[in-house]
Amino acid sequence: MFRIIAKSLKTGILTEPQPFTARPPFGFPVIDFARCTACGECARACPTGAIQVSAPAADRRKLSLSYAACIQCRECVTACPEQAVSAGRDFEIAAYTREQLTHTALFDIDGAGRATLRQLEAQPGPGLGESAARLRERIRGRLGRSLHVRQVDAGSCNGCELEITATANPVFDLERFGIHFVASPRHADLLLVTGPVTRNMEIALRKTYEATPEPRVVVAVGACGCSGGIFGERTYAAVGGVDRVVPVDVYIPGCPPRPQAILNGLLVAMGVREARLKPDGQATSPEPAGAGIAVRGRAPVLALARDAERA
């Protein structure tokens, strides 16, 4: 007993007081579309089809990058002859829809085959400002309610589970945000689902969803949960992304997402649930700076947790 106390005193407090300030060494690729020539080398190198190049007209080319399908292998970074792709360091990559996780750029192609950036397509999500405001309010108010989470492995390789487990360790300590894991969906507010839903798990996931009381929130974790990832969709063994089976409220991409990214996504989901519990409530603050599509730097989605901590 004394040894345990002595060891605890020696170890001190490990919990990271600002878990959202430490940046990971690398994250999702960021394309500098101003330098991009839409040559398509990155798309050819991408193992998951996260980067797509198409030609909607003879003098147009379209390049899109989907974080939902990206496994952060950085093959595109090495493949780009223009050095227009770099590894970003953001982890606040949670979104309300798959489309929000996609950057798209349209290029004009001249007679000599040179590409010039014409426009970027932005897809802001529904209710983004409202949810962000609620989240900030909630953090400021020291989380009056807690969030009970049931994790569902619908066919994951367990990489995502390792990172989810890390959110509960003394460093990230998700319980300080009022978030707890529970054993039964009947006790849960939120389902945290990983994996490309395998055919064997499809019915189990549907039943778990039905067993969770309203207003339930579903969060898809990992490239597999967001889009089928490296395993693809509609194969003999897997249905694909979680939204092919049950409605998804928040997407947390990555292969696997870092604990901070999962924590950030859960806080975003907390805002979604809050909005459902009080659908007539008014947002009290404007949409956070940085929410929305960014070509460089911040990811095209929600930098909510970091903004909330700063508030």
Closest CA to 46 of 24, 69, 16, 19: 69
Q: Which stretch binds ligand SF4 (CB under 6 A): 47-55, 208-216, 241-249, 288-296?
A: 47-55
Strand-pair category, 60-66 with 102-109: antiparallel
53 binds ligand SF4 (CB under 6 A): no
Minimum distance of ligand SF4 from residue 226's CB (angstroms): 8
240 binds ligand SF4 (CB under 6 A): no
CB 305 within 8 A of CB 282: no
Structure token digits, residue 274: 């809050």
241 binds ligand SF4 (CB under 6 A): no
Name residues whose C-beta falls within 8 Å of residue 291's C-beta, 6 or more positions apart in sequence: 124, 128, 129, 132, 301, 302, 303, 304
72 binds ligand SF4 (CB under 6 A): yes
Minimum distance of ligand SF4 from residue 88's CB (angstroms): 10
Query: Residue with CB nearest ligand SF4?
Result: 159
Closest CB to ligand SF4 among 68 and 135? 68
One of 19, 185, 222, 288 touching ligand SF4 (CB under 6 A): 222
48 binds ligand SF4 (CB under 6 A): yes
Closest CB to ligand SF4 among 158 and 284? 158
> Which amino acid is residue 296, in one-letter code?
R
Q: How far apart are CA 70 and CA 63, in angstroms?
A: 15
3-state helix, strand, coil in the chain (%, to 5): 35, 20, 45
Q: How far apart are CA 226 and CA 59, in angstroms?
A: 33
88 binds ligand SF4 (CB under 6 A): no
Minimum distance of ligand SF4 from residue 26's CB (angstroms): 9
> Which amino acid is residue 51, in one-letter code?
I
288 binds ligand SF4 (CB under 6 A): no
194 binds ligand SF4 (CB under 6 A): yes
Closest CA to 46 of 9, 24, 75, 81: 75
One of 80, 224, 262, 305 touching ligand SF4 (CB under 6 A): 224
Residues of this chain, 134-163, that bind ligand SF4 according to CB under 6 A: 156-157, 159-160
Q: How far apart are CA 36 and CA 76, in angstroms?
A: 12
| For the chain, counts of helices (H) and of strands (E) | 9, 13
Strand-pair category, 85-87 with 29-31: antiparallel
230 binds ligand SF4 (CB under 6 A): yes
CB 288 within 8 A of CB 307: yes
259 binds ligand SF4 (CB under 6 A): no
195 binds ligand SF4 (CB under 6 A): yes
300 binds ligand SF4 (CB under 6 A): no
Residues of this chain, 9-28, that bind ligand SF4 according to CB under 6 A: none
Q: Which stretch binds ligand SF4 (CB under 6 A): 10-18, 45-53, 130-138, 179-187?
A: 45-53
Rg (Cα) of the chain, in Å, rounded? 20
Q: How far apart are CA 33 and CA 266, in angstroms?
A: 31
One of 36, 201, 223, 262 touching ligand SF4 (CB under 6 A): 223
Q: Which residues contact ligand SF4 by CB under 6 A?
A: 29, 45-48, 50-51, 65, 70-76, 156-157, 159-160, 194-195, 222-224, 229-230, 255-256
